[in-house]
Structures are given as structure tokens and as C-alpha cells.
Structure 1
């Protein structure tokens, strides 16, 4: 690890993040709230902290190695979780402990959406806006934003981009220069957010709720400004609008970029992962709607509205709710929860294991069954008509095995803190998938969980956001050996 490379980049990223305190200040001024002082303090503390890291090395020029990219990414998310917790820690009501403040901050930044806060409808709007905003920054990744302007530091940004971008394949670039790639992603991200906010406004939200919910919808975060989440609005039109944008944000942003640049939607229909994504959502939605209607839980149209909304919300790991799906009949709550393990497409803001990984695991399983009948056959796995490199298949199985192992270990640790089986399993899976909602004692919020459980779940959020290996590699001796 090169301190002369890591420290100025980390400092610069913190200085960039300090600017996130300005919009909540403006909101506080508009509504005349005293909480504006929290963001003033946080702004200067973050800015000065970043400058203290950047200034001593500002004239040093060096080449960033892949190892430096991993260190910067992990350190930045850890430091960001601490700095992001300051407004929550300093606010008067509700008064939060250090554990709760960091949990809420990390949940927002990793777009998990698990919360310990209640009484959102009565909280200061500046705090609510800040809470929504950190999900928006975390959705695409502040590091990808910083990569767009990294050349001013004299340091290349490809190593950061590769460690930050979600998905099993991280070497593809939308444009020849990585700076232009990051700019293209963020331009598209902002454009989708603006479009979503306007859509919410036209559907009946006021501007504050429209902008706030557009942040967490496009980021697939799930935080809301109301305790009842999207169900607060009691609007089929808003439900439909939210369903569409959750579904859209769960698709690979590279496809959005190509569709935008080429003015055509043909890429969506040709992409095998999108086909798998639509197939999974459609199948689970049909089962859910049919079961709700057949069990007389709701009428047909209400079953369709609520069923489709909850399926898209949980499957994309957004975590919004319109109704209490945990009390739905028979197997539906568990079915929806299991769907979150799949998540959205690679290259989207969704969590989970990603559709493309599940498709590859399924195809490899089918291949092994075929080999039982034809052991000498040479079988090639294809995705979208193209053969998949064996190295990718190995990486997918390695990811899956590590994911399951960590899930089991953290599940047992949570049970050791006193949680029951349902609460322990669903909370760790929810945080590892960056979903948010859970079953059992944590269905409404995570406030009542022991502090030890919250720290384990905070670690699970970070693992999920960085797709496990980016974080775990720092714990291997070989990483530090050379």
C-alpha cells in the first residue's frame, strides 16, 4: 500500500462528500429548522478532515495499483459511514447512540434501507432529506463520481472503478476513457433521478417528497420520509410510478447508456440478463397475484397492484412497502424474501447476488446433469449466444460459496446475541442483500435489536455493497505480502 497515493485520494473523496451537507442546509433554511447547525458542523469537520489527508501529499505523483484501489474503496466506505453518522449522532430528537447512528448511516450509504428510526413523519425535513440523499450518493457510488475528476490529482481511476462497480464483470467501459465513463454514468443517474422526481410530482406528491423519494428509488435504497413508506400516499398512480422506476433502476446502467446514446431500446430486448430479470419478476409476480386473489386477501385489481409492487420492490432490493407483506398468506412472505437473493442486474444499483450470476449457476447445473448422460461430451456454457470464459464460471461459484458461508456464519453469530431463528436469518440476509425489510422482530425496524447484532449487520451491509471480495481480500495475508 502506498500512503502517498491512498491518503490524498481518500482526503479528496472526503472533501467531495463534505459538499453533501449543503443541500440539507438549504432545506433547513427553507423550513426554518434549527438542525441546520448539524450540517454546518459536519461540513467543516469533513472538509478539514479531508484537507488534512490531502494537503501533505498534494504534490506527490504516483501510479495507483490495484491493491491501492481496494484499500481506498474499503477505507472510504468505513470513514464515510463514520462521518455520515455525525448529523444523526448530534441531533436532539430522537437521541441516537453511536451504534444506532453508524448503523443508520451505513444503511443509507450502502442503500440497504434498514432503519432504527421511527416517527419519520414528525422529524425535521433537513434530517429526512439528508437521509434520502446519502442513499442517492451511495447508489451509484461516490467513488465513481470522484473518478470522473480524479485526473486533477494526477492519478488514474480505473482501479477504483473496478473495485466499486457492482457485478461479476468489471472491466467493460462505456467510453474509451474511464473519466468519461464515470461522467456518463452520473449524467444518466442524475437524468433518471430528475425524471423520477417530476413523475412523482405529477402523480400527486409535493416537491419535497417527490425529490426525496426519487433519490431512494433510483438508488434502490428504500428509505422514505414517512413511517408507512409509499403506502402513506394511498395512490395507485404513485404505486405504479414507483414500480416502473424500481424495475428500470434494476437494469444494467450500461444498457440505459447505450439506449440513451443510440436513441434505441433494442439493447434491452437482446440482453440475456434482462430477459432473465423479466422472467424471474414475471413468474414471482404471477404466483403472488394469483395467491393473493385465490386466498381472498384482496380483490383482483388490488392483488395485482400490491402484489406487483411488493415483488418488484423486494426482488430489486429496494425495500419500499405499500402493505404488510409479512402477514400475507401461506408461503408468500418467504417467497418474496428468497427472491431478494437474486437481486437486480449486474451494473445496476440493486443488491443481491445479481441475475447474471444466478443464470450462470443454473446453466452450469444443467450442464452437469447433461454430463451424467453424456460424460464425454464437450459442453460450452453460453450467455446471449456467446461462450462464457471458464474463469468467469469459477469466479461465480467462488462468490456463491463465499456468500453462503458468510451468511451461515453471521446467522449463527446473530443467534448467539439472542435473536430467534427467523429474525436472525432474515436480518442478515436482508443486510447482505442490501434489501432492508426483514421478518420476525425486525419487520417494522431494527431498533430493538442488541448492539452486537447491529454491528454484525453493519458489517453485512458493507460486505453486500462491496460484493464481498473487495472487502475480504484485505483480510488475506497474500494481499499485504507483495
Structure 2
């Protein structure tokens, strides 16, 4: 294990992250809201921390192996989440406890969107912007951005990229060089954010709110600058813009690149995961709209936009709300929570198990049924026009098994901290799927959860953001052997 090289990279990444504390500091002085010193102090602390880690190891430039990539990713998210919490915990009238500061920071960076805050619109502009910015940075993953920079510093990046990108098939690159891959991902992400902010602004948001909400929309994070979330805006146009960009962000970014490079949208429809994503979202929206129209007092005009919005927001793991979906009639609250288990496409900013894994499990189930009917038949699991090797299918089932076991253990942990069964289920789903709002006591926020429960939630967020195995592999004795 090349520990000195790992420390060198970690120090550089922390120093790079420190720059992210300057925009909210500038906003604090622009709006004169008094929060600037917290961000300036946080900038100097993180910059010095990064330089102190980097300097003694600056000459360590050994080649990275895959396991070093996994360790760097996990360490970076742990350190980044901790450093990102500094402005929240520095003493002023808006300071939070260490536990709440860490919860808010990790929730933002993992794009979970759960919060312990109320009265968000009363916070200084700098703090409100900082929460949104953290989600934006976590959405694509700072590691992917760093992969584009690290080659310039003499550091290989493929190991980091493989550890960071979600999905069962990580050996595909958009371009021959990993740095070019990361740059293309980043430019697509940035362009989508600008387009989203411009659309929000045209629809009536202030520039501050348009930028802030575009950050959390494209990141599929769900943080808002208001307690009422998107419900603050009584505008079906704004809600529809949010749905459109949530769907775009939930699509595999390699498809966006293929469409851009080929100057055609045919690449989308040829992708089976994209078609499955639209089918799932369309079916859920239809059921939700019909039930809302049938069982609530809302008219069809209200039911269709509320149903469409909440299905996209909860099903794609954003967590924006226009209404308290946990109080909706019949099975809708649980249906939407279960929809978040699927999430979006692999290679997107969405959370959840991912559409491709769910689709492959479904096809594997069909294959087993066919084998029972025709014991001597030869059946393969196909994806598009190619048959997948068994190792991919086995990896999917391995992921699902680990996910299910971890879900049970975390849920039991939440119950042990005092949450009732219903709330514990909602809290586990909300954090592991990087969703945000849950059910029962955590339907709106995690303020009532004990400190122990919040640390369990942070762990669940990390497992969800790092696709379980990236973090779980560190607990294997084999990982640490030479």
C-alpha cells in the first residue's frame, strides 16, 4: 500500500476543496450578513491542513493500484465531509453542534438532502448558498473533477474514477484518456447546471434562488433555500422545469456525451436503461396521479403536477417536495419510498440501487424461470444486443445481497436509538438511497433523531454514495494484505 502517495493526493484534494469556501465568504460580504469570517477561517484551516499533509509527502509519486484508489476515495469523502462541517460549527448565532454540523455537511456532499435545520430562509445568504454548493460539488463527485486535474500533477486517475463512478460496469470510458473522460463529464454537468439556472430565472426565481436550486437539482440533492422546498413556489412552470432537469440528471452521463458527440438524440432511445427509466417513471406517475385525483380533494390540474413532481423527486432520490407526501392517501407514501430504491441510471447523479441493476435482476429472474421450464436449455441475460458475462450478473446479485443485509443492520441501529419501526424504515431508506425525506418522524427533517441516530445516518449516507462495496471492501482483511 502506497501510503505516502495516498497522503500526497489527499493533501492536494483538501487544498483544492478549500477554494470552495471562498464564494460563500464573498456572498457574506456582498449581502453583509455577518457570516464571512466563518468561511474565511474554514478556508485557511482546510488549506493549511491540506498543505501540512501534502508537504512531507510531496515527492511520493508511486503508481496507484486499484485498492489505493478505493482507499483514497473513502478517505477523501470522510475528510471532506469533516472539513465541510467547519463553517457550521464555528461559534456564531447560527452555529450547530458537532454532530449536527457533520450531519449537514455529509448530507450535502453525499447529495442526500436530509437536514436538521428549520427556518432555512432566515439563515444568512452565505450559509444557504454553501449548503447548495456542497450538494453541487458532491453531485458529480469531486473525485471525478480531481481526476481531470491529477494527471497534470503526475498522478494516475483511472483507479479513482473506477472507485467513484456508480454502476455495475465501470470498465467503460468515454474517451481513451481518463483525464479527458473526467473533463467531458464535468463540462456536461456544468452546462446542464447553467441551463437549469437560466430556466429557473426565466420562470420567476431570483438569481440567487435560481443558481442555488440549479445546484441541488442537477446534483439530485434536494436541498432548498426555503423550508417549504419547491412548495415555496406556487408555479407549475418551476415545478415542471425541476422535473425535466431531474430526469436529465438521472440519465447516464455517457449518453449525454454520446448525443452531444453524435449530434443526435438516437443514442438515448437505443439505450435499454434509458427506456427502462422512462417506463418506470411513467408508470409510477400514472398510478400516483390517478390515486391523488381519486382519493384526495385535489382536482386533476393539481393532481397531475403534484403527482408528476413527487414521483420524479422521490423516485429519482432528489427529495424536493411541493406537498407532504408522507400524508398522501393509501399506499402512495410507501410506493414513493420504494421507488427511491430503484433511483436513476448508473453513471448519473441519482442515488438508489440503479435502474440497470434492477433490470438485470428482473432478467436474471426470467432466466431462472425459463431454466425451470426447460432444464436443458441455454439462456443468457442480454443487455441491448449483447449477452452479459455471468460475472456481471453475479456482481449485481452480490451488490443487492450486501445492500439488503446492510439495510437491515442500519434499520436495527435506528430502532436501537429510539425510532419507531416505521420511522426507522423511512430513515434507512432516506439515507442509504441518498433521498433525504423519509417517513414518520423523519418525514420533514432529522431534527428529532438522537445524536447516535444521526451518526448512523451519516454512515448510511456514505454507504449509499460510495455504492456500498467501495466502503465495504475496506473492512476485508484481504484488502490490507500485500
Query: Do they fold alike, i.e. is TM over 0.5?
Result: yes
Q: For residue 477 of structure 1, what is the aligned residue in structure 2?
A: 477
Inter-partner Cα distance in structure 2 for 1:195 and 1:29: 27
Aligned to 2:364: 364
CA distance in 2, matches of 1:378, 1:252: 31
**Matching of residue 412 in structure 1 with residue 412 in structure 2:** yes
Who is 1:156 aligned against? 156
- Tell me what 2:379 maps to: 379
1:464 matched residue in structure 2: 464
1:47-66 matched pairs, under 5 angstroms: 47-66=47-66
Distance 1:421 1:109 in 2: 27
TM-score (norm 1): 0.99
Structure 2: which 5+ runs fail to align? none
Cα pair 2:86 2:101 within 8 Å, conserved: yes
Contact kept, 8 Å, 1:5 with 1:68, in 2: the verdict is: no
8 Å contact 2:296–2:329 — kept in the other structure? no
Corresponding residue number in structure 2 for 1:311? 311
Name segments (4+ residues, structure 1) moved above 4 Å: none
Q: Separation in 1 of the partners of 2:226 and 2:296? A: 29
Alpha-carbon contact 2:147-2:182 (below 8 Å) kept: yes
Superposed, 1:201-240 pairs within 5 Å as 201-240=201-240
Q: TM-score normalized by structure 2?
A: 0.99
TM-aligned CA deviation for residue 423 of structure 1: 0.6
- Aligned mates of 2:104, 2:340 — CA distance in 1: 21
1:63 and 1:156 in contact (8 A); partners too: yes
Partner of 1:272: 272
Aligned to 2:72: 72
1:388 corresponds to: 388
Check conservation: 1:35, 1:91, Cα contact below 8 A: no
Q: In the TM superposition, what whole-angstrom CA distance separates every residue of 1:39-69 from its partner, at most 9, and x where no partner exists?
A: 1001011111111111122223210111111
Q: Equivalent residue for 1:346?
A: 346
| Aligned-pair CA distance for 1:199 | 0.3
Provide the residue aligned with 1:448 in structure 2. Answer: 448
Shift of 1:214: 0.3
Shift of 1:91: 5.0
Offset from partner CA, 1:52-96 (integer Å, 9 cap, x none): 111122223210111111111000000011100001111523331
Q: Does structure 2 retain, via aligned residues, the 8 Å contact 1:288–1:332?
A: yes
- Deviations along 1:380-424, one digit per CA (max 9) or x if unpaired, are 110112111100000000000000000001111111111100110
CA distance in 1, matches of 2:146, 2:368: 44
Structure 2 matches for 1:120-159, cutoff 5 A? Answer: 120-159=120-159
Structure 1 gaps, min length 5: none
Note if contact 1:310-1:325 (Cα within 8 Å) is conserved in structure 2: yes
**1: CA distance between counterparts of 2:95 and 2:158?**
41
Superposed displacement of residue 34, structure 1:
1.3
**Which deviations, in whole Å up to 9, do the C-alpha atoms of 1:149-202 show, x marking residues without a partner?**
111331210000000111111111111100111111101111000000000000
How has the CA–CA distance of structure 1 residues 429 and 48 changed in structure 2, closer, same or farther, with 3 Å as cutoff?
Answer: same
Give distance in 2, aligned partners of 1:140 and 1:116: 24
Following superposition, the deviation at residue 143 of structure 1 comes to 0.8
Alignment match, 2:46? 46
Residues 225-263 of structure 1 show CA distances to partners (whole Å, capped at 9, x for unaligned) of: 000000101111100100100111000000011111221
Shift of 1:134: 0.4
| Pair 1:195-2:200 in alignment | no
SS of the equivalent of 1:341 reads helix
Asked if the contact 2:427/2:438 (under 8 Å) is kept, the reply is yes
- Tell me the distance in 2 between the aligned counterparts of 1:257 and 1:131: 28
RMSD over aligned CA atoms reads 0.8
Contact 1:174 1:181 in 2 (8 A): yes
Distance 2:117 2:133 in 1: 16
- Give per-residue Cα distances to partners, 1:246-305, cap 9 Å, x unaligned: 111000000011111221111111100001000100111000001111114310111000
Name the counterpart of 2:436: 436
* Change in 2 beyond 3 A, CA 1:296/1:3: closer
Distance 1:171 1:46 in 2: 33
SS in 2 for 1:441: helix
Change (3 A) 1:304 1:74: same
